[in-house]
Amino acid sequence: MIVLGIETSCDETGAAVVRRGSGGACEVLSNVVASQHELHAEYAGVVPELASRAHVEALLPTVREALEQAGVGLGMIDVVAVGNRPGLIGSLLVGVGGAKGLAWAMGKRLIGVDHVLAHLYSGVVGREKRAGKGEQGASAKVRACEGAREGEVFPALGLVVSGGHTSLYEVASWTSVKRLGATIDDAMGEAFDKVATIVGLPHPGGPNLDKLARERGANDRAFDFPVSRISTTSLDFSFSGLKTAVLYAVKGVPEDGKYPQRVALTHEQKRDLAASFQRAACRAVVIKIERALEQARARGVEYRALLTGGGVTANSRLRSELTAVGEKHGLNVLLPAMELCMDNAAMIAGLGAEMTAAGMKSDFDLQAVPTASC
């Protein structure tokens, strides 16, 4: 089965082609992303109207490039998968409209995919295995999805940490997902971006903060920032208290509505703030993962894998902490390849292939929906 994936939920226009074999293994034949970061940089955030207009301009060239790179003609596509929720409504409408048009004109199957759940699939797509000489030629950029075999993965615990979402899921199969918890205020990536602004780092905040915290000599205990637990049983997340703690550490605690005057931060102070913030943010995630494992065990459920995805899974500290949690609890941790952490269409096409293989399809009245499906 060959699937064309389309992703336009926020500020990246993505198109990708994947091939799913009868055994369930899925190869990424191409994965093209046209980013709008420069367009939105001067506004320090995504401007919805600009984003949807840019998607209109980029969609068809991106799809064309993905087909070309995959060496696949439109006629060879079996299914068109599109991220139809959640996201910016104007942006989603462009992708959904484009996908419907292509599928209808070519007489193909259509499948709408939840973008957040597709992030969970990105860790499976990212199981990189360069094809050997005998298979596709030494230079072939073909990736095989390993670990997608149900017995190795399910039931799984799922973690999505992005700029818009921070959630934990119980994943019984690719078509049976239950949300266990979510952020009650800021998403983890949003907190990284806001803290980066407070510390005075340029856009893109999350990756720059990560880089600064990795510098030699960075002290992650220089500031004792709060680690949110919410309650003794909650699987929800909260990052706004941590963000405020960083703000107060930089500007002082406000009195009569005004921040006390502070001298500018030194580079060393910025570095230590970044490292201390990252430590507290990652700790909060690890606590919730261990809590979810414990609660599942009490219900007689033993997770086999930790599926992860979303922009913050590119964070170096989070990646090593998640790996360590996996080792401690005997979990198969599926981290996305770096280029699949951020929004992309390979994860949409991959999950679309799984849903199609499970017998699911969408009608041509498929809607763009701003909210998540679970």
Instruction: Assess contact for 311 and 344: CB atoms under 8 A.
Output: no
- Strand locations in the chain (E): 2-7, 12-20, 26-35, 79-85, 109-114, 143-144, 156-161, 166-173, 176-182, 305-309, 332-334
Residue 12 contacts Zn ion per CB under 5 A: no
Enter the tokens of residue 183: 């952020």
Residue 207 contacts ligand KG4 per CB under 6 A: yes
Dmax (CA) of the chain: 72
Alpha carbon of residue 326 to chain centroid? 19
Please, what is the minimum distance in Å from the beta carbon of residue 189 to ligand KG4? 3
Interface map 150-169 toward Zn ion (x if CB under 5 A)? ------------x-------
CB nearer ligand KG4, residue 93 or residue 314: 314
Q: Round to whole Å and give the CA distance between 39 and 91.
A: 15
Q: Which does 30 bind (CB under 5 to 8 A by kind): ligand KG4, Zn ion, none?
A: none
**Cα–Cα nearest to 318, from 242, 213, 226, 228:** 213
Residue 239 contacts ligand KG4 per CB under 6 A: no
Residues 313-342 that bind ligand KG4 (CB under 6 A): 314-315, 342
Residue selected from 86, 206, 336, 350 as contacting ligand KG4 according to rule CB under 6 A = 206
Residue selected from 312, 337, 348, 349 as contacting ligand KG4 according to rule CB under 6 A = 312
Residue 14 contacts ligand KG4 per CB under 6 A: no
Residue 311 contacts ligand KG4 per CB under 6 A: yes
**Cα–Cα nearest to 307, from 53, 85, 139, 124:** 124
Which residues, 6+ apart, have CB-to-CB distance to 79 below 8 Å?
1, 2, 3, 4, 108, 109, 110, 111, 352, 353, 356
Which residues, 6+ apart, have CB-to-CB distance to 170 below 8 Å?
155, 156, 157, 158, 177, 178, 180, 296, 301, 303
Q: Round to whole Å and give the CA distance between 197 and 192.
A: 9
Please, what is the minimum distance in Å from the beta carbon of residue 5 to ligand KG4? 15
Which 8-state DSSP code applies to residue 1? Answer: -
Kindly state the number of chain residues that form the binding site for Zn ion, as judged by CB under 5 A: 2
Residue 192 contacts ligand KG4 per CB under 6 A: yes
Residue 345 contacts ligand KG4 per CB under 6 A: no
Residue 205 contacts ligand KG4 per CB under 6 A: yes
Phi and psi of 327, rounded to 5°? -65, -40
Q: Which does 315 bind (CB under 5 to 8 A by kind): ligand KG4, Zn ion, none?
A: ligand KG4
**12-20 and 176-182 beta bridge pairing:** unpaired
How far CA 124 is from CA of 85, 188, 277, in Å, comes to 21, 22, 29
Interface map 35-64 toward Zn ion (x if CB under 5 A)? ------------------------------
Which 8-state DSSP code applies to residue 261? Answer: P
CB nearer Zn ion, residue 210 or residue 220: 210
Of 98-106, 131-139, 204-212, 343-351, the segment contacting Zn ion by CB under 5 A is 343-351
Q: Which does 350 bind (CB under 5 to 8 A by kind): Zn ion, ligand KG4, none?
A: none
Of 34-42, 131-139, 257-265, 311-319, the segment contacting ligand KG4 by CB under 6 A is 311-319
Which 8-state DSSP code applies to residue 257? Answer: T
CB nearer ligand KG4, residue 193 or residue 272: 193
Residue selected from 86, 164, 326, 336 as contacting ligand KG4 according to rule CB under 6 A = 164
Binding site for Zn ion (CB under 5 A): 162, 343
Using CB under 6 A as the criterion, which residues of the chain lie in contact with ligand KG4 when the complex forms? 10, 162-164, 189-190, 192-193, 204-207, 210, 310-312, 314-315, 342-343
